[in-house]
Structure 1
């Protein structure tokens, strides 16, 4: 698709669009940005009319490149076709989205949910797509080829419009097979759907590059979700370039989704989110920085990366004990993958909770220099409050 960093639209919200037209006295004529709520009502009316006056044809041919390809056409009186709105073959759903102080209800169609994991709205995805206007003119397509996209809006490249970030997490990736002779990857059981996006979650006032999508135009994307890449998006801003430098904190974003809804937001952008719903907040320490962007999730003064780092003497096999080869504890213990016989992925210990064993010196109070020992269940108990989310540990030195 024509990539568009939707947060650029937010910048436009604070200024006016300048028209190329001039009045007789050569004064520049400015055109104010349209109100998001008013525009959404108009867009939603257009989308619902589209759903009620067009029908969809889907190729259901597993194992072929055309599987889940979509054609949408306008209903002609008497042709017997059933509208997208009225058909029962595929589930038409809505997703509530809060953005620019508007409560959107975004329509999307589930052709196939998929069988694998779902991305969060900050992960990378591998997908194919076709985009069309409400007159069914195609304005962009990957022509069936899988392409990589970043759903995280603050990433520096391959980012997508906001609607993609909101709808793709409702689907699951498929499975892949690589031909050993040609290296060609084929996908099966992938998620597939259609999203119907109001302009406020698409290109809004800017339109798309090249003018194929006019300003304030609702659009439609049919898509296939083949694969995903989990991301760890904590970043700092380079003092020399002003660009984000992604460092991560050792915990992938999807594991920092505290409420488990599959979505992560940075509500510090008060222009875009003036009154965010409290149930969408994923912020352990309440400092306003969501965990997926916070280098210190629990606000105890110790970075998350420090708290989940294994002791140097507990990496690999030490004195006959397998501690796992990672430098950092995984979220939970991991068993060996039988599909990779030459690699042992076993990680018997996950991120620990505050230790519950005996004190180093039972005659003295617990302190930063007199700590408790970790017990095996401190690494494996479910549930447990992992130490990077527990502001009471490590104990600070007096």
Structure 2
């Protein structure tokens, strides 16, 4: 998807784009972007027409799909009406409106789902609604950052909304170093132009074009955008599989409260916030292990990491020379006995940690608990 390396970020709503056309007196003609709501209505009508006038001709054993237009008088069952791969939808808040995005799940996958800010490995092909192919990875795995960052970023918002609905598969590295994938998620997404390139025309794609992508999700890499030791997907407080940077008030003028993952309510989502609970202590500081709890200390294995993982992790069997076991996860505020039972709990008289503080599944981890560390007296 080389074109994704060079696309400019879609111009913000309300900012005019400049046409190459000029009037007779050489005055530049300024063409404002279309209204998102009105354009979405037109795009949705076009997508619905496509779904009702095209059919799935074939899905082969490798989950490659062929979609074909129903000929005049044809009796083929449309994508809309077929039941082998029921049409699914996801509501997406973007550009100040809520889009309904249609997609097909050819196979869910057996691994894990990316969050919308992870890095993915995928094979894909892109089509216009008239069936014209405008891009393809030619069946090969390509790597992209869903957040659009860097030269490998994806500037199609629809990708970051639909890929989290699928899971990765399994892989085997052959003697030639080539990976073979199986059990991967595979699907098709039908995107309105507002979740694609909108008013920007690019190679083979006119402005305001709805797009169709067929895809396979092979693998993912978890990312940590605020470098605080907690992966982005672990900072998804509402557990919906998505995180958003709602500081962009043009794109997100009135985000639904159900989508906000902001523990301290400071307007910065946890996955971008160095101090998630706003207690004055950075998240990285709060989850850093005491010096005496790194490695094997006194016959106890505390794990080799300098900070606590989100949850305990087991050894990686593919690295026999290294033990990655981390027996404890990020702890909650300690609940054990007071250092001095005769005195009140305080920074100078803390409670002791017990095993459940590191392991209890429903615990409120300390980097999300503004009552800990204790306030200085």
TM range (shorter): over 0.9
- 2:306 equivalent in structure 1: 327
Q: 1:384 aligns with which of 348, 363, 376?
A: 363
In the TM superposition, what is the alpha-carbon distance from 1:36 to its structure 2 partner? 0.5
- 1:299 equivalent in structure 2: 278
CA contact (8 A) 1:5 1:159 kept: no
Separation (CA, whole Å) in 1 of partners of 2:15 and 2:312: 51
In the TM superposition, what is the alpha-carbon distance from 1:332 to its structure 2 partner? 1.5
CA contact (8 A) 2:264 2:276 kept: yes
Separation (CA, whole Å) in 1 of partners of 2:355 and 2:28: 72
Instruction: Name the SS of the counterpart of 2:29 in structure 1.
Output: strand
| Unmatched segments (≥5 aa) in structure 2 | none
- 1:34 equivalent in structure 2: 34
- 2:59 equivalent in structure 1: 59
- 1:243 equivalent in structure 2: none
TM-score (normalised: structure 1): 0.91
In the TM superposition, what is the alpha-carbon distance from 1:345 to its structure 2 partner? 2.6
Equivalent positions of 1:107-126 (< 5 A) are 107-126=102-121
- 1:158 equivalent in structure 2: 152
Instruction: Name the SS of the counterpart of 2:233 in structure 1.
Output: helix
Separation (CA, whole Å) in 1 of partners of 2:107 and 2:8: 30
Separation (CA, whole Å) in 1 of partners of 2:330 and 2:347: 20
Separation (CA, whole Å) in 1 of partners of 2:7 and 2:307: 34
1:391–1:338 distance in 2 versus 1, CA, 3 Å: same
Structure 2 residue 281 is the aligned partner of structure 1 residue 281: no
Structure 2 residue 333 is the aligned partner of structure 1 residue 354: yes
Summarize deviations over 1:244-302 as a string: whole Å, max 9, x none.
xxxx1100011111111101011111111111111001111111111111111111000
RMSD: 1.6
Structure 2 residue 129 is the aligned partner of structure 1 residue 134: yes
Structure 2 residue 98 is the aligned partner of structure 1 residue 97: no
1:6–1:19 distance in 2 versus 1, CA, 3 Å: closer
The count of aligned residue pairs is 375
CA contact (8 A) 1:53 1:75 kept: yes
TM-score (normalised: structure 2): 0.96
Instruction: Name the SS of the counterpart of 1:8 in structure 2.
Output: coil
- 2:66 equivalent in structure 1: 71
Q: 1:226 aligns with which of 218, 223, 238?
A: 218
Instruction: Name the SS of the counterpart of 1:177 in structure 2.
Output: strand
Instruction: Name the SS of the counterpart of 1:200 in structure 2.
Output: helix
Summarize deviations over 1:106-151 as a string: whole Å, max 9, x none.
0101111111100000000000000010110100000000000101
